Amino acid sequence: MQVQAKPGLKLIAILEAMKGLLSFTVALGLHLLAGKDLQQWAESLVLHAHLNPAHHLPGVFIEAMGRFPQGNVQWFMLGALAYTIIRWVEAYGLWKGLRWTEWLALIGCVIYVPFEVYGLIHHPGIIGAVILIVNFLIIAYIARTLQAKPEFAIES
């Protein structure tokens, strides 16, 4: 018996797949940057974008890239790849209506709430508020979906 995924779960699956794609892009970028002088690369990027390196944000970016430990690039890349795999597995399972991936999605959303609240308290802004609200909506939707399903639904 195939369990049919609700349209809301499919929408969440698309969101998770997009997060996985973004994470994969980060992993690929980190792979390409491994072994390079990150500060020099950041300066080239800022100049290529026709930004003034003396301004605050470009300067912060260049300085941060200069302080980034070169030996950690591969670890960050592997972490981004692991995150990508988790997001894509979750997206596939949500799309197919697999109950265990609904639990994975619920736990994954709940884990971020304290960090989002902390970020909103210390750096209030519309983007942080929207992210927190969307996260709460996803949590409520998945929790309600899990409650509505029979405990021992047959999945395939």
Average pLDDT over residues 5-14: 89
Residue 101 pLDDT: 94
Q: Of 13-22, 66-75, 118-127, which gets the smallest average pLDDT?
A: 66-75
**Cα-Cα-Cα-Cα dihedral sign, residues 37, 38, 40, 45:** positive
Residue 78 pLDDT: 94
Residue 79 pLDDT: 95
Q: Is the pLDDT of residue 151 over 90?
A: no
Nearest in space to 122 (alpha carbons), one of 111, 133, 114, 112: 114
Q: Is the pLDDT of residue 134 over 50?
A: yes
The 10s digit of each residue's pLDDT in 63-79 is: 988 888 877 888 999 99
- For residue 1, name the pLDDT band (cuts at 50, 70, 90): very low
Q: Of 16-25, 100-109, 144-153, which gets the smallest average pLDDT?
A: 144-153
- For residue 136, name the pLDDT band (cuts at 50, 70, 90): very high
Nearest-5° angle of CA 30, CA 32, CA 34? 65
Q: According to the 3-state scheme, what is the secondary structure of the chain? A: CCCCCCHHHHHHHHHHHHHHHHHHHHHHHHHHHCCCCHHHHHHHHHHHCCCCCCCHHHHHHHHHHHHCCHHHHHHHHHHHHHHHHHHHHHHHHHHHCCHHHHHHHHHHHHHHHHHHHHHHHHCCCHHHHHHHHHHHHHHHHHHHHHHHCCCCCCCC
The 10s digit of each residue's pLDDT in 29-58 is: 888 888 888 889 899 999 998 988 888 888
Query: How crowded is residue 17: how many other Cβ atoms within 10 Å of its Cβ?
Result: 17
Residue 25 pLDDT: 96
Nearest in space to 61 (alpha carbons), one of 79, 40, 81: 40
Q: Is the pLDDT of residue 117 over 90?
A: yes
Nearest in space to 19 (alpha carbons), one of 75, 63, 84, 66: 84
Q: Is the pLDDT of residue 110 over 60?
A: yes
